[in-house]
Amino acid sequence: MRYWRTRIYKPVNSRGIESNHYMVKLQYLRRRQAFSLHTASGEEAALKAKAMYQRLVASGWASLVDDVRPTPPPASGLTVGGYIELVRSKNLIPEKTLNGYLQRLRRIVAEIKSINRNGKRHRPGSKARAEVVAKIEAVPLAEITPDEVRAWKRRALARAGADTLKRQQASVSVNSMLRQARSLFSERKILRHLPRILRPLPFDGVEFEPRVSTKFYGAGIEAPKLVRRAFAELAQEELKAFLLAIGLGLRRREADHLQWRSFDFVNGTVRVQPTEYYELKTVESAAVLKFDPEFMALFKGWVRQSPRRFRARERAPAATRNQLPLLPRRHDLRPAGRMVAPSRGARQ
């Protein structure tokens, strides 16, 4: 085992980001090939690598490749749900991110196949929602062709009519949905770890709409005026969420889980970092951000107030003042979320 512990590695992509899972390169009879071990545990990866090599020597390359990358079901038999289970079984994407991608894919499939045409939203975990999801996942993957996706995109844009602002909003929404759903079919991150799937795949050759400016997108109002209205109309907790969003460009969950210890009042900065309650969406999300001095002064005043008004989440243990969440639970922040949708480009 000592040998195999030295042969496994975590690949690093072109942006310098290290994979969560180990890989191993095996060489036998003048052939060399890399295999994902689908685990973040070094000890488990070493055991898998050793077993793979023993299988390779005993049975040859064809047997090993068929075992590690089995032949997929025929295109006519692979459903959307079957593909989802294939992706989920490999643990290639964090569960939270995967669920977001799946929502977008299911919505696109539902609209293409006219499932749940009334657009009614069902409570998570309800029988009605389970029935809708089952219908979506029963759709054969081969029926969701690139041409069908392009037609769906045209219909989504046509619903905006001739209004320029609504068409821009529709373009942003369509691009966002395409980007997330298409991530489930990424050649580099997903497909190379799966059995060979017959082409064409749903998003092959489907292009995004031209990018539009998303700075203060959809607010229809200048930023200074928007801030003045926020101070006049929002309660304190909603105002905190608004200032973190517009001043730092934080994602909703980043703002929701930000802690007082993230604030450096001396240097006027806020550190975005993972905590025991929240894992950042990407490695690049971690940053030290400069905060507007006037906004920072407000937060400095708020932190001096009684910590009793800041409740820890139900899943969190009792915490000290410095560890308590800065903001209430998400359902308390929805009014602010509807008021502004900041772009990630707001960070400097």
> Which tens digit of pLDDT belongs to each residue from 165-217?
888 889 999 999 999 999 999 988 888 888 778 778 899 989 988 876 655 54
Q: Is residue 148 part of a domain?
A: yes
Could you say which of 39, 68, 97 is where a domain stops?
68
What lies within 8 Å, CB to CB, of 91 at 6+ separation is 21, 38
- At 272, list the tokens: 């975005």
- Domain assignment of residue 126, given as a range: 80-193
Q: Is residue 74 part of a domain?
A: no
Q: Is residue 126 part of a domain?
A: yes
Could you say which of 27, 43, 68 is where a domain stops?
68
| pLDDT confidence tier of residue 224, bands split at 50, 70 and 90 | confident
| pLDDT confidence tier of residue 345, bands split at 50, 70 and 90 | very low
pTM for the full predicted model: 0.54
Do the Cβ atoms of 238 and 335 come closer than 8 Å? Answer: yes
For residue 322, is pLDDT > 50?
A: no
Domain count across the chain: 3
Query: What is the structure's pLDDT at 337?
Result: 36
- At 100, list the tokens: 């977001």
Q: Do 125 and 47 belong together in one domain?
A: no
What is the distance between the alpha carbons of residues 123 and 268, in angstroms, rounded to a whole number?
Answer: 42
Rounded average pLDDT over 300-304? 84
